[in-house]
Chains A and B, each alone.
With several copies, the nearest count.
Chain A
């Protein structure tokens, strides 16, 4: 029996597959389709301090092997999330990771604190990379000093493990990873979406009301794999890898590149059973490629490169 278990700070996962933030709401809809206990973990939609309506519609566009979204962090606010959404999820024996967004360091800290106090989640994911709202933390995701600072302040406030979600819209992902590592992050989530645009030929304008949106799906997988691999060479932090996963093969690619677990985003939109299908297929695939378990596959590609530095 191939074991799918994998351990990350604060998270004992029965398998390395979790739905990515924003593509799974707060789990209610998917729970009508399958048992959420099957999942390694659940990452919920971004929480902000106050409710947010998000951007104007249209908010999604289809692209070659991908999609653009400009949801704009719509969410009911951390208070409602704690009182109405998290209790629902706590009926499942599946760890919950809360995605946290904000416009200021204070907002990040306040949201993180409230979620920590709820006692209903197992880890935080700081979303310093939402490209879709000016005040959505994206400035934190581009500036290593700010990124380290927001990480450090959240870490000071909460007991929960903190994963920082990095933006691919940067010239130097390793620098960002090292900065948040220095800030005290327990792990990394990568990648968020690449900023993109589609022009609607009929209206001769950007199709999305917000003009730009975040590109996700298989189209971006090579960028994600590269970033996970690069960061793995230079940081000791465990990585939750994501970007374009739609099959068990993609999961294995991320594990070998250096991810310890993965999140599946856009694929859920194409096929709501994507996560469970991948979980079902993974043992067979690990076996095919000669792995005894998930742990063995992690960083499989970097074994010869030896020293994963902690610098």
Chain B
């Protein structure tokens, strides 16, 4: 984990209030480091100074390309993401990276992976899907968005495999929640991977109890590196706890109590 300045290479609006940002490294030496970043890990981004925005914002790694450039996708949902969205090509962004523990892709040997994402939980699943697909895993994705103009990366996920999109109001794809799809369809998969708001994760893990799977958990964070205890989640086994920013954000589905 390191602190570095990333350089904004591109800033594009890809859906309502949703920005895709390409970030480059300020040193070539780091390129190979970035290649080792694991899907599910995140950047902890300083979006302003202490007087405007004291806390860093956690944003998932949505992709890493062959040059070590990083893609993030985020929704403008408050002051910090609004400030971040105004950073254009050439701006420098202070980030801690890579933060947290991602999906254990190296230890998995899967035929079929089911990705279940909701809203701003979708971005890390793209990097995950791409990584798994490159290893020959078949990818099925179910992605939920609020409505049509919130949808992004539909083509990109379609390229990875079968992809179903649902919207809360049916304005794009199926109407309903991702869990409705789980109910209706009889999908064959070895392992599921889910990222999205906590109520969605609860619904998904309830529906898929007993299945092998991983979830990525959200929480308000302080340090983002495991030092402040802001972001804990109770471990399912007894009285312990896990730090989302360090032990997570990815946990085995049966590891933590949501």
Contact = CB atoms under 8 A, between A and B. Distances in A.
B161 interface: no
Contact of A58 (B94, B220, B227): B220
A60 B222 contact: yes
Interface of B: 1-3, 46, 50-51, 53-56, 80, 94, 96, 219-223, 225-234, 239, 241, 246
Nearest to A72: B229
A24 B234 CA distance: 21
Interface in A46-99: 51, 53-54, 57-67, 69, 71, 74
A201 B103 CA distance: 34
Most A Cβ at <10 Å: residue of B222, B226, B241: B222
Contacts of A270: 46, 50, 54-56
B54 A67 contact: yes
Given A266-B54, A271-B46, 14 more contacts: A25-B227, A28-B226, A51-B239, A54-B232, A57-B233, A59-B220, A59-B232, A61-B220, A62-B80, A69-B222, A71-B228, A269-B56, A270-B46, A270-B50
Interface residues of A, number: 38
Contact of B225 (A29, A45, A58, A218): A29
Contacts of B223: 23, 29, 268-269, 272
A60 B234 contact: no
Interface of A: 22-25, 28-30, 32-33, 45, 51, 53-54, 57-67, 69, 71, 74, 217-218, 246, 266-273
List of 4 A-B pairs having minimum Cβ-Cβ separation, nearest first: A25-B227, A58-B220, A60-B230, A65-B51
Contacts of A63: 54
A58 B219 contact: yes
A217 B54 CA distance: 8
Contacts of A64: 50-51
B55 A62 contact: yes
A71 B54 contact: no
A203 B237 CA distance: 31
B238 to A, nearest CB: 11
Contacts of A217: 50, 54
